């Protein structure tokens, strides 16, 4: 099997690539990544010499390049994670999200459709998506696979659009696909622009913790390695033309999560109790901020037997330990452009 993973140098993609390279020596795993600010080959240093792994530097928006690599490597499966992934960046630069998330996805769909035109048996296009396509929940209820799409940010609108294209290629061209919509991930290798790694980095450096609005926004958090396990399972065992929701059964209001993080960080850094909580600073809210996301993951649980393997407290402790042990990684990704981004976003 020749498997193409897109976005494999990013946060979730790197865990997926590692899992596939280590679990399936009989597969060849091609990691296609443009190495944007979010892509980092350091994430894969432990497996990048493996005989069944090849890195391809390229942009999914470049249709000519995409067609060439499909022609050359004749992939049997695609696991598509490459995306612009940060809501705040989508508010300042929506078109970048249209290019990568929509046009890039359609380029991949075209290449897979054309390559598998004569024989699509045992072929699979797996699109990795987000629960944010469903919009915002009130205080009650959960997103299921049949919840209507109702995206509110340019990021979620671009992901919703890409999901629709994947389904449309299934209906129109018979493309064998599976799609998953997952809740917020956290864990090692997460770029420090998202809530948890940004706050870990700020606590280490005694910097303010910018909580948007009243901090009562709610997210459902999943440890990234549990997501990678779910992706492996759905890729191999999921049914064609089906969607699966993936979530942690683990809802937290931002402010409660931040307080737990502060508590764990104080313990690990040997700082007096409540030191880090003193860094909390309420700041102007994100425009169009979705109040609550929560996933009903019973379909993947009942049909495929998947469930999260760690509690949030365990996953968070593993995550903090990783950041504290990988200071060099953190310093490398927060030098250069990161400072300019931080100034623009938070000054
Ligand atoms: P990330 O931003 O950490 O990584 C994205 C990767 O895609 C990077 O390596 C980047 O270099 C690459 N990339 C970006 N544009 C590209 C292009 N034009 N061509 C080729 N490569 C390109 O993102 P992530 O958090 O790992 O998310 C991966 C996928 O999972 C995304 O599709 C995202 O929508 C989805 N998702 C993320 C979460 C989450 O909580 N992070 C939750 C659910 C779904
Ligand atoms: P984030 O990690 O950006 O993920 P998403 O927007 O995709 O859910 O944000 C998680 C939550 O944390 C969200 O409600 C916004 C909030 N947040 C802050 O309060 N401050 C911050 O600096 C960031 C980045 C996020």
Q: What was the pLDDT predicted at 104?
A: 99
pTM reported for the whole predicted model = 0.99
Q: What was the pLDDT predicted at 15?
A: 99
pLDDT at 178 over 90: yes
Q: How many whole angstroms from 215 Cα to the centroid of ligand 1?
A: 25
To the query of whether residue 65 is one of the catalytic residues in this protein, the response is no
- Mean pLDDT for the chain? 98
Encode pLDDT of 182-209 as tens digits.
999 999 999 999 999 999 999 999 999 9
Do residues 8 and 17 lie in contact, with contact meaning Cβ atoms separated by under 8 Å? yes
135 lines ligand 1 (CB under 6 A): no
To the query of whether residue 313 is one of the catalytic residues in this protein, the response is no
Encode pLDDT of 61-117 as tens digits.
999 999 999 999 999 999 999 999 999 999 999 999 999 999 999 999 999 999 999
Q: What was the pLDDT predicted at 1?
A: 96
Q: What was the pLDDT predicted at 347?
A: 84
pLDDT at 336 over 90: no
To the query of whether residue 132 is one of the catalytic residues in this protein, the response is yes
Encode pLDDT of 223-246 as tens digits.
999 999 999 999 999 999 999 999
- The Cα 147–Cα 92 span in angstroms is 28
Q: What was the pLDDT predicted at 233?
A: 98
Per-residue buried b or exposed e for 23-44, using 16+ beta carbons within 10 Å of the residue's own CB? eeeebbbbbbbbebebbbeebb
Sheet holding 218-223, edge to edge: 184-186, 218-223, 251-253
Question: What percent of the chain is modeled with pLDDT above 70?
Answer: 100
127 lines ligand 2 (CB under 6 A): no
- Rg of the chain in Å (alpha carbons): 20
Flag the least confident range among 5-14, 30-39, 332-341.
Answer: 332-341
- The Cα 114–Cα 63 span in angstroms is 13
Catalytic residue among 131, 145, 220, 251: 131
201 lines ligand 2 (CB under 6 A): no
pLDDT at 302 over 90: yes
Catalytic residue among 33, 59, 84, 132: 132
């Amino acid at each position: 099997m020749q498997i193409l993973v897109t976005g494999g140098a990013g946060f979730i993609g790197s865990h997926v690539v590692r899992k596939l390279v280590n679990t399936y020596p009989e597969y060849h795993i091609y990691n296609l990544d443009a190495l944007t600010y979010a892509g980092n080959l350091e994430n894969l240093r432990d497996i990048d010499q493996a005989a069944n792994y090849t890195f391809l530097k390229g942009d999914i928006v470049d249709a000519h390049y995409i067609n060439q690599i499909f022609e050359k490597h004749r992939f049997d499966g695609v696991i598509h994670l490459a995306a612009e992934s940060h809501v705040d960046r989508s508010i300042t630069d929506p078109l970048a999200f249209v290019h990568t998330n929509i046009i890039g996805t359609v380029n991949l769909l075209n290449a897979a459709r054309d390559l598998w035109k004569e024989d699509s048996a045992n072929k699979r296009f797996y699109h990795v998506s987000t629960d944010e396509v469903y919009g915002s929940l009130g205080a009650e209820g959960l997103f299921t696979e049949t919840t209507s799409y109702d995206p509110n940010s340019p990021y979620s609108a671009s992901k919703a659009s890409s999901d629709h294209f994947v389904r449309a290629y299934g209906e129109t061209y018979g493309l064998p696909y599976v799609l998953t919509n997952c809740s917020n991930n956290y864990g090692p290798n997460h770029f420090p622009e998202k809530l948890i790694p940004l706050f870990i980095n700020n606590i280490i450096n005694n910097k303010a913790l910018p909580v948007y609005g009243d901090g009562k926004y709610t997210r459902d958090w999943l440890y990234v390695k549990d997501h990678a396990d779910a992706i492996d399972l759905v890729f191999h065992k999921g049914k064609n033309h089906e969607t699966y929701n993936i979530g942690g059964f683990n809802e937290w209001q931002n402010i409660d999560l931040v307080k737990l993080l502060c508590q764990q960080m104080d313990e690990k850094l040997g700082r007096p109790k409540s030191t880090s909580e003193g860094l909390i600073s309420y700041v102007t809210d994100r425009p169009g901020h979705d109040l609550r996301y929560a996933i009903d993951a019973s379909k993947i649980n009942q049909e495929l037997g998947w469930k999260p393997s760690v509690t949030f407290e365990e996953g968070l402790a593993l995550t903090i330990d990783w950041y504290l042990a990988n200071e060099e990684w953190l310093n490398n990704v927060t030098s250069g452009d990161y400072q300019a981004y931080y100034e623009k976003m938070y000054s």
